[in-house]
Amino acid sequence: LHKPMYWFLCHLSFLDMTVSTVVVPKLIAGFLEGGRIISFGGCVCQLFFFHFLGCTECFLYTLMAYDHFLAICKPLHYGTIMNHRTCLFLAMGTWVGGCLHSLMETALVFRLPFGWENQVNYIFCDIPAVLKLVSADTTLNEMVTTVDVGLVATTCFLLILTSYVYIVSTILKIHSAQGRQRAFSTCSAHISVVVTYYVPLVFIYLRPGSQDPLDGVVAVFYTSLTPLLNPIIYTLRNKDIKVALINLRRPNLAL
């Protein structure tokens, strides 16, 4: 499993764990304790890390689509292009890009004055919910958030879509039915996790009238169920991982 695809999957697994860690433990503690209290500093940290990890994951999905494009459309050049140094550079670039994006969003929100209202009417500290507590005009912040999140999400989605246009075009030229099936199987897991990632993202941040009560339900799916589904999807749809798991379960014959 020492291939670029699994190197990126390692980063995705870490992102899934940390995204859930940012939101779920505090949410469970609030329900168990009955207080549902978070400090101002805790709210700042929660908002920053949530958008940092979420944006990094968006960049990582785009990078994984590019990896699939190279593997299927340029197989003879794949080993040369996606070497260890390039993989490390690209993966670190996603983390740096996510951090810069989140720093800007967090700074724009918490530079504003807050009024007496101190209850976040949401399951965690997110930008639309926190902006409702501000005692000044937030039109500019709301517009910047929509444009910024929309620009990042749309750009990444278009790059993913472009990669898959080339991928599908290349797969259809494969004469062997088994070869086409293997190629589609390689991409199907990534397509599934991209869909489960982008649908909640568009519903919460890019539609008019955001922060309806239904957004809380979608946010639970986005922060808890999606990270849980990702490893299941990749395990069930990936032959190499299934073989590795079967080998782990086999008894050691030498004993």
Per-residue pLDDT in tens (0 to 9) along the chain, 255 residues: 567 777 888 888 888 888 888 888 887 877 776 656 788 888 889 899 988 998 898 899 999 899 888 888 888 888 888 888 888 899 899 999 999 999 988 988 888 888 777 777 777 888 888 888 888 888 888 887 777 777 888 888 899 989 888 888 888 877 777 767 776 766 777 887 888 788 777 777 666 555 555 666 677 777 777 777 777 777 666 666 667 777 776 655 444
Rounded Cα distance between 210 and 121, Å, is 13
Q: Check residue 56 and give its pLDDT.
A: 92
Residue with tokens 């469970």: 28
Contact yes or no for 78/70 (Cβ under 8 A): yes
Q: Which residues contact 35 (CB under 8 A, 6 or more apart)?
A: none
pTM, entire model: 0.81
Instruction: Look at residue 113 and give its three-state secondary structure.
Output: coil
Q: Which residues pair with 36 in a beta bridge?
A: none
Contact yes or no for 102/58 (Cβ under 8 A): no
Helices (H), the chain: 4-33, 40-73, 75-81, 84-110, 127-131, 139-172, 177-205, 213-220, 226-237, 239-249
Contact yes or no for 41/69 (Cβ under 8 A): no
φ/ψ bin of 39: left (φ > 0), alpha (ψ from -120 to 50), beta (otherwise): beta
Rounded Cα distance between 27 and 9, Å, is 27
